[in-house]
A and B are shown apart, each in its own frame.
Chain A
């Protein structure tokens, strides 16, 4: 399966539009997920992430635009090669854990017998061997979520699509999930996931798409997103005033006894020389590369960033 030739892009969408009544949930999105990459769709709740993923997977049809999954314009034809973990988790409560995993595999073409064997092995490897024979209704929320995640990958797909996979998981299980995603990517599997937690995207993704208001505001590598902002300079001086002040950029802010400004385009050297010549008394000077959060604020706006933080806080409460 992994050895099969893969297209350059595992997922592609051009000009995708999806409206619900008057509301444009997806508003002209172009997306291309390179095969074998970990790709994050970042945005607050209601940004259109889930609708975008459902459209790409063929669960719903777009009103406009084209999509292809593993090079196929008919997504359901690639169902055997795709694994999908929806945002709203669902399992049959009376099904045993290993049966639920095998059933999800069988839906995607994996023989039931193979699915059962793999499911038992996966659960045992994950330290959940005792839960294999238990009905889903007897499992904790985290365990049930793990069962569903295993059901998503049991058939060894080429592409895994995870909608808010970290939601509802505690920090320990979030770490385990991150490891699992990395492991899948190492095997050559393309992982596309949506999240409203910037830290996960920052740690895992090679490329991201920042979505807000049904549109992609940014698409590219995490480094490129950060590069949208110039590095930030933090300067502490012994003196608070002098001729050297004229060398500081116009947008400099004074906060907590320090000067904050973006690194000038000509670099730090001319400024440093002016500070030394003006006897500013440099106590400390640091140049910080902006984080993805700062980039997100700059790209999607303050309101979207605030909502992301609220969503994140809610998710932590749920976990």
Chain B
């Protein structure tokens, strides 16, 4: 075991330095920041668009007194309601028919309300009438009630803790953690698929297989890619944290996961590592069977779909703590890290995590072993029975 770990470390060090010291690694680090920059640029544009008044404009062709009361009622209601929830009112000429006004080339109102406060008449296209008649009815009713319409005052009674809000907050934290881990594994684990292709195309695999156990090759490659992922995560995480501190409202308080932030973040890293190595050990086993980069590319799609399925399963169970689907998601090796991080957000017991991590590590070992067996049989063309190969020692 010691010799295998030593050999795995030699391979991991080579792979890690080869990746991290390459120029393309800078692109790898900066890559995920591009969508954020683009997102921020588009976000700015979006907020400008959303701040533009896009409310429909309703023409008022009513006597001046009625029109004034309508405008006052609209203003009073708008104070109590969300911005842009009521249409804009604009007075139009009373001299011509509403139909004729709407037909003019320079018409700038959607519908025209004529008649009186007690019997308003709305002229416009059927869809616009349907959309706006409720608002106009509300405004007209408020205008009729005038000062007799008293707005009721809601008395605030703040509390320091609300279990309901906390539960909701922890559920959200669990979901976000799942999504973050999923996206990170989706982004990073796929790269492992093509990991052994270089060795196979450059014929280095023969040198490696003659010198060290194939298990050590697989393990070393996984270790290298995981280490490289951690470099990326610390870089992106650090950048995101700095950005958060820069834009954070001082009054904002975050919900606390059940285990507390330090332990939760540590478990987050561990579960990312487990999700990564579980999928990675599968991917390296699948990728090792591929002879060319093209074959690896073809494998990418079904592999991504499988990842999505696992995520959806774990995500489905997140708000059903202790239910059969949640327990199944915890036990199923590939969904286990996702289900467990959601648990860490909502439940404070530590021992299930220790069990889960050991369970997941056992599965990493089993999957690597099966990958090695397939590699020895199909790539190295080595003989021996399935069971004998599966349970033989790494050096044997």
A141: which B residues are within 8 A, CB to CB? none
Contact of B383 among A61, A74, A88, A108 (CB under 8 A): A61
How far, in whole Å, are A134 and B219 apart by their CA atoms in the complex?
Answer: 29
Residue in B10, B198, B205, B383 whose CB lies within 8 Å of A63: B383
From A29-37, A91-99, A274-282, the one touching the partner chain is A91-99
A92 to B22, CA, bound (A): 13
Candidates B202, B206, B382; contact of A93 at CB < 8 Å: B202
Among residues 182 to 230 in chain B, which have CB atoms less than 8 Å away from a CB atom of chain A? 198-199, 202-213
Q: Which A residues, 284 to 318, have Cβ-Cβ distances below 8 Å to chain B? A: none
Tell whether A60 pairs with B18 under 8 Å between CB atoms, given A86-B203, A86-B210, A104-B207: no
Alpha-carbon gap, A296 to B380, bound state (A):
31
Contact residue among B207, B213, B376, B393 (Cβ-Cβ distance under 8 Å from A86): B207
Chain A CB count within 10 A is highest, among B6, B10, B22, B211, for: B211
Are A103 and B202 neighbours in the complex by a CB distance under 8 Å? no
Are the CB atoms of B206 and A86 closer together than 8 Å?
A: yes
Please determine whether B6 and A60 come into contact, CB atoms closer than 8 angstroms.
no
Chain B residues whose CB sits within 8 angstroms of the CB of A103 once the complex forms: 10, 14
Using CB atoms, name the residue of chain B closest to A21.
Answer: B381
A84: contacting residue among B6, B203, B210, B384, CB under 8 A: B210
Chain B neighbourhood of A238, CB < 8 A: none
Q: Are B203 and A74 in contact (CB under 8 A)?
A: no
What's the interface size class on B, roughly? 20 to 34
B211 touches A108 (CB 8 A): yes
A74-B396, A84-B211, A103-B14 given as contacts; is B202 within 8 A of A91 (CB)? yes
Any A CB within 8 A of the CB of B395 = yes
CA distance A121 to B212 in the complex (A): 26
Partner of A94, one of B7, B22, B213: B22
> Across the interface, do B202 and A57 meet the contact criterion of CB distance under 8 Å?
no
A-B contact count (CB 8 A): 80
Name A79's contact: one of B202, B211, B384 (CB within 8 Å): B211
The contact string, 1 if C-beta is below 8 Å from chain B, for chain A 36-80, is: 000000000000000000100111111100000000001011010
Q: Which of A76, A86, A108 lies at the interface centre, i.e. has the most chain B CB atoms within 10 A of its CB?
A: A76
Q: Determine if B395 and A76 form an interchain contact, defined as CB atoms under 8 angstroms apart.
A: yes
Whether A7 is near chain B, meaning CB under 8 Å from some CB there, is no
Query: Per a CB cutoff under 8 Å, which of A59, A104, A109 touches B209?
Result: A59
Please tell me if A209 contacts chain B, counting CB pairs below 8 Å.
no
Residues in A whose Cβ lies below 8 Å from that of B210: 54, 57-59, 79, 82, 84, 86
Partner of A88, one of B14, B22, B206: B206
Q: How far is the CB of B224 from chain A (nearest CB, A)?
A: 13
Q: Does A179 contact B (CB under 8 A)?
A: no
A89 at the interface (CB under 8 A from B): yes
Complex: how many Å from CA A77 to CA B4? Answer: 10
**Contact, CB under 8 Å: B212 / A90:** no
Are B395 and A77 closer than 8 Å at their CB atoms? yes
Pair A94/B18 contact, Cβ less than 8 Å: yes
Q: Is B18 in contact with A92, judged by CB distance below 8 angstroms?
A: yes
Residues of chain B with a CB closer than 8 A to A58's CB: 210
Task: Give the residues in chain A near B209, CB-CB below 8 Å.
Answer: 59
Given A107-B208, A108-B211: A18 and B202 within 8 A (CB)? no
User: Cβ of A107 and Cβ of B207 under 8 Å apart?
Assistant: yes
B203 and A90 within 8 A (CB): yes
| Most chain B CB neighbours (cut-off 10 Å) among A20, A60, A63 | A60
Q: Does A11 contact B (CB under 8 A)?
A: no
B127 to chain A, nearest CB (A): 64
- A74 nearest in chain B by CB position: B396
CB closest chain-A residue, reference B203: A90
Are A60 and B207 neighbours in the complex by a CB distance under 8 Å? no
- Return the contact of B204 from the options A62, A63, A82, A90 (Cβ within 8 A): A90
**A223 CA to B345 CA, complexed, in Å:** 79
Which residues does chain B contribute within 8 Å of A84, judged by CB atoms? 207, 210-211
A-B contact list, 16 entries, CB within 8 Å: A20-B381, A59-B210, A60-B380, A60-B382, A61-B382, A84-B207, A90-B206, A92-B204, A93-B202, A94-B18, A104-B211, A107-B11, A107-B207, A107-B208, A107-B212, A109-B6
List the interface of chain B (C-beta within 8 A of A): 6-7, 10-11, 14, 18, 22, 198-199, 202-213, 376, 380-384, 393, 395-396
